[in-house]
Amino acid sequence: MASPGAVLFDAYGTLFDVYSVGQAAERLFPGQGAALAVAWRDKQIEYTRLVTTSNDGAHYRPFSELTRAGLRYSARRLGLPMDDAAEQQLMDAYRTLSAFEESREVLQALKARGVVTGILSNGDPGMLDAAVRSAGLHGLLDHMLSVDGIRKYKTHPEAYQLGAVATGLPPAQIAFVSCNGWDALGATWYGFRTLWINRYQLPFEELGTQPERIGHSLRDVLAFF
């Protein structure tokens, strides 16, 4: 197959390590940092689905608000004594998540090839801008696409359509890269050429569809070219 004309990346979990926030959580709640990071991420994603599918999106709230709500719920569930200062420390840590070590290298390699690059994310614009600038990736991305403008989270097809509209390319000429299996599946159903980064040695979703490619590092996107 011909090489794709653009590569779009999921942000949270793909370019940025959502579990790196566990380091800040561990300093605040010794012995509970990793558990809080996992519970927080799961509830955050659950909330995006809840507000997208209920009442045709009438309950939409920006990703930053859902992230804070997920943190509060998770702390309560784990019985952690989180005050306002601790909550703000963790939210600040989430805005400056660590990028995976190969993120910059891969974006630079794609730019050197003249490939259009971008982020297509549930994150609202302020969150994405903070994360990208903190990681030093800002000059390596042609597009910063947030679902906030359409008020529907992935895996709604209108979320993926943002990529086709922004690049002017049909879905079949766009590669979409995600570490989240559910996201790679939704993007495949939409019509993107997909690469699932299986960082954690997990099985793919059992719904009868496979991504075009499966890798273990962002470097595997270069195999498209």
pLDDT in tens, 27-72: 999 999 999 999 999 999 999 999 999 988 889 999 999 999 999 9
Q: Which structure tokens are listed for 104?
A: 């910059």
- How many angstroms separate the first and last alpha carbons of the chain? 10
DSSP string for 170-202? -GGGEEEEES-HHHHHHHHHHT-EEEEE-TT--
Query: What pLDDT is stored for residue 65 in this prediction?
Result: 97
Query: What pLDDT is stored for residue 57 in this prediction?
Result: 80
154-184 pLDDT, tens digit each: 999 999 999 999 999 999 999 999 999 999 9
Query: What pLDDT is stored for residue 8 in this prediction?
Result: 98
Query: What pLDDT is stored for residue 78 in this prediction?
Result: 97
Which residues are CB-contacts of 138 (< 8 A; sequence separation ≥ 6)? 129, 132
In the chain, % of residues over pLDDT 70:
100
Q: Are 162 and 155 in contact (CB under 8 A)?
A: no
Q: Which residues are catalytic?
A: 10
Range 18-95: architecture per CATH: Orthogonal Bundle (1.10)
Task: Evaluate the omega torsion of the peptide bond into residue 155 and state whether it is cis, within 30 degrees of 0.
Answer: yes
Q: Which residue has the tokens 């197959």?
A: 1
Q: Where are the domains of the chain?
A: 6-16+98-224, 18-95
How many C-beta atoms surround the C-beta of residue 225 within 10 A? 12
Query: What pLDDT is stored for residue 163 in this prediction?
Result: 98
**Whether the predicted pLDDT of 138 surpasses 90:** no
Query: What pLDDT is stored for residue 55 in this prediction?
Result: 85
9-24 pLDDT, tens digit each: 999 999 999 999 999 9
**Whether the predicted pLDDT of 217 surpasses 90:** yes
- What integer best gives the mean pLDDT of the chain? 96
Rounded Cα distance between 180 and 4, Å, is 21
**Whether the predicted pLDDT of 117 surpasses 90:** yes
6-16+98-224 is a CATH 3.40.50.1000 domain: yes
In the chain, % of residues over pLDDT 90:
96
Query: What pLDDT is stored for residue 74 in this prediction?
Result: 98
Confidence of residue 99 (pLDDT cuts 50, 70, 90): very high
Handedness of CA 185, 190, 191, 193 (dihedral sign): negative
Confidence of residue 208 (pLDDT cuts 50, 70, 90): very high
Query: What pLDDT is stored for residue 204 in this prediction?
Result: 97
